[in-house]
């Protein structure tokens, strides 16, 4: 029996794997996705669940990233109204807050401008009489409260919706299917995987490595060894507290190190994140540490006095995800968050790895992936346009 053939094989069914499958199928290509565990098993179910431009990336002048993310936010609000919703965000400024009111005003004005002044990009300051209604936020030393809007999603549900859209256009998903190795041949890639306790092989024109924090483990199984990018895995944790935030989201400054920490409503609980801790173990085993939990709880309690003195027993659940950042000098907090598309060669690549990235920009990233691979793929008749395909939650 001959070996199966396809245009594209994608490793990983996180948001990037699903996004590339959707863009590839929409462009008319045959695509096979291999996922070792479950849809959104990795980072794509452990994010902060924000579809946002990333207000704080303005501080590190990543304007192109913010603009692209805000454009994708506007698009997702239209394409996936049941999965992506605008929410009010609050930034309280105290006497000792590092980011001063004028800086926030300038940042929020720029954020609105980069968002094309579209609906949902306007901001305001809350009148003092409304402060008491802010979920018990500490008003001692409070100088101003800014309110703007950003969007929230369910990251895993969004990933599943994108994968369903890809499958509706003909993409195939094998799950659980573990990628075990590949050979780069002159005009194709031969890919091996294990599925239902059997070894399978399939030929593809191109292989897309969307294995997130496992990306370099995947590359290590390819012969001849392709170039790899040195990356650090940086863990980010969230805790879930028993309680509710009725007024929306809070953008807080951790008293200990002045990092931005979010507190947000999540399924009748309060979600607080995140942290930044270097990680070197098995990506599947990443878990919040007691220190991270104390840091997040401490930051939240600092601003919401009713929680002062609360111990770890008030934490109902916690989870951690891994950022993939190019190895470089500087703290993880300031490192650029642009997505890196890394290929085995400049012309007619057979292999493309997606390093890093934002949930928010997955569609734009997937379209860039298709552009980079165009010369390696046969011409096909498009079946759809990712800018127009609606995304709906499972019924």
Ligand X SMILES: Cc1cc2nc3c(=O)[nH]c(=O)nc-3n(C[C@H](O)[C@H](O)[C@H](O)COP(=O)(O)OP(=O)(O)OC[C@H]3O[C@@H](n4cnc5c(N)ncnc54)[C@H](O)[C@@H]3O)c2cc1C
Q: Residue numbers of the site for ligand X (CB under 6 A)?
A: 11-17, 34-37, 41-44, 47-50, 178-179, 210-214, 218, 236, 274, 321-323, 354, 357-360
Whose CB is nearest to ligand X?
14
**Pick 126 or 254: Cβ nearer ligand X:** 254
Q: What is the CA radius of gyration of the chain?
A: 22
CB of 211 to ligand X, least distance (A): 4
Q: Pick between residue 43 and residue 376 the one whose CB is nearest to ligand X.
A: 43
Give the E-state strand segments of 154-253 in sequence order: 172-174, 177-185, 188-195, 198-209, 222-223, 231-242, 249-253
Are 332 and 276 within 8 A, CB to CB? yes
Query: What does 73-131 look like in DSSP terms, one character per residue?
Result: HHHHHHH-TTTEEEEEEEEEEETT-SS-HHHHHHHHHHHHHHTTT-TT---EE--GGGG
Contact criterion met (CB below 8 Å) for 160 and 57: no
Q: CB 275 → ligand X: shortest distance, Å?
A: 8
Hey, what are 236's tokens? 């980010």
DSSP 8-state class, residue 164: H
Nearer to ligand X by Cβ, of 107 and 212: the residue is 212
Centroid of chain to Cα 329: 23
CB of 81 to ligand X, least distance (A): 18
> Which residue matches tokens 């990628």?
179
| Shortest separation between residue 101's beta carbon and ligand X, angstroms | 25
Beta strand 351-355 pairing with 340-343: antiparallel
Question: Backbone phi, then psi, for 84, in 5-degree steps?
Answer: -130, 120
- Asked if 224 and 111 touch (Cβ cutoff 8 Å), the reply is no
The residue to which tokens 């400049």 are assigned: 346
Of 17 and 248, the one with the shorter C-beta distance to ligand X is: 17
Q: Which residues pair with 90 in a beta bridge?
A: 147, 250
Nearest to 203 by CA among 221, 185, 222: 185
Give the nearer residue to ligand X in terms of CB position, either 29 or 49.
49
Q: How far is the CB of 287 from ligand X (least distance, A)?
A: 13
In the complex with ligand X, the residue whose CB is nearer, 144 or 201, is 201
For ligand X, the closer of residues 211 and 351 by Cβ is 211
Nearer to ligand X, 1 or 394 (CB): 394
Compute the least distance from the CB of residue 13 to ligand X, in Å.
Answer: 6
CB neighbourhood size of 195 (10 A): 14
Q: What distance in Å separates the CA atoms of residue 132 and residue 134, rounded to the nearest whole number?
A: 6
Nearer to ligand X, 243 or 357 (CB): 357
Compute the least distance from the CB of residue 106 to ligand X, in Å: 23
With left for phi above 0 and alpha for psi between -120 and 50, is residue 235 left, alpha or beta?
beta
Q: How many CA atoms lie within 13 A of 30 on its CB side?
A: 9
**Min dist. Cβ of residue 5 to ligand X (A):** 20
Measured from the CB atom, the residue of 315 and 354 that comes closer to ligand X is: 354
Question: CB of 379: closest distance to ligand X in angstroms?
Answer: 27
Work out how close the CB of 361 gets to ligand X at its nearest, in angstroms, rounded to a whole number: 7
């Amino acid at each position: 029996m001959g070996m199966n053939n396809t245009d594209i094989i994608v490793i990983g069914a996180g948001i990037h794997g699903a996004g590339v499958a959707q863009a590839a199928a929409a462009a008319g290509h045959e695509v096979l996705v291999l996922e070792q565990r479950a849809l959104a098993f990795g980072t794509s179910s452990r994010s902060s669940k924000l579809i946002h431009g990333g207000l704080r990336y303005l501080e590190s002048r990543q304007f192109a990233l913010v603009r692209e993310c805000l454009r994708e936010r506007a698009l997702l609000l239209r394409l996936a109204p049941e999965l992506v919703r605008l929410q009010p965000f609050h930034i309280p400024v105290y006497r000792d807050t590092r980011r001063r009111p004028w800086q926030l005003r300038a940042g929020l004005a720029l954020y609105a401008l980069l968002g094309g002044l579209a609906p949902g990009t306007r901001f305001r300051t809350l009148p003092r009489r409304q402060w008491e209604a802010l979920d018990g936020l500490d008003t001692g030393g409070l100088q101003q409260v800014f309110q703007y809007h950003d969007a929230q999603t369910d990251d895993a549900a969004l990933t599943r919706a994108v994968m369903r859209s890809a499958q509706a256009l003909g993409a195939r998903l094998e799950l659980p299917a573990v990628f075990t190795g590949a050979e780069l041949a002159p005009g194709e890639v031969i890919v091996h995987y294990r599925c239902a306790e059997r070894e399978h092989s399939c030929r593809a024109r191109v292989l897309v490595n969307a294995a997130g924090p496992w990306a370099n483990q995947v590359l290590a199984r390819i012969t001849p060894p392709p170039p790899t990018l040195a990356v650090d895995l940086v863990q980010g944790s969230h805790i879930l507290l028993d309680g509710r935030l009725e007024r929306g989201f809070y953008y807080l400054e951790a008293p200990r190190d002045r990092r931005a920490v979010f507190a947000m409503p999540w399924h009748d609980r309060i979600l607080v994140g995140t942290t930044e801790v270097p990680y070197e173990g098995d990506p599947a085993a990443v878990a919040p540490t007691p220190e991270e939990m104390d840091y997040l709880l401490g930051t939240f309690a600092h601003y919401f006095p009713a929680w002062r003195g609360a111990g770890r027993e008030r934490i109902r659940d916690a989870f951690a995800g891994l950022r993939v950042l190019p190895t470089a000098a500087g703290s993880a907090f300031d490192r650029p968050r642009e997505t890196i598309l890394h290929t085995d060669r400049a012309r007619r690549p057979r292999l493309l790895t997606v390093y890093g990235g934002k949930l928010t920009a997955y569609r734009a990233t997937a379209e860039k992936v298709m552009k980079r691979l165009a010369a390696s793929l046969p011409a096909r008749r498009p079946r759809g346009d990712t800018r127009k395909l609606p995304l709906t939650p499972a019924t």
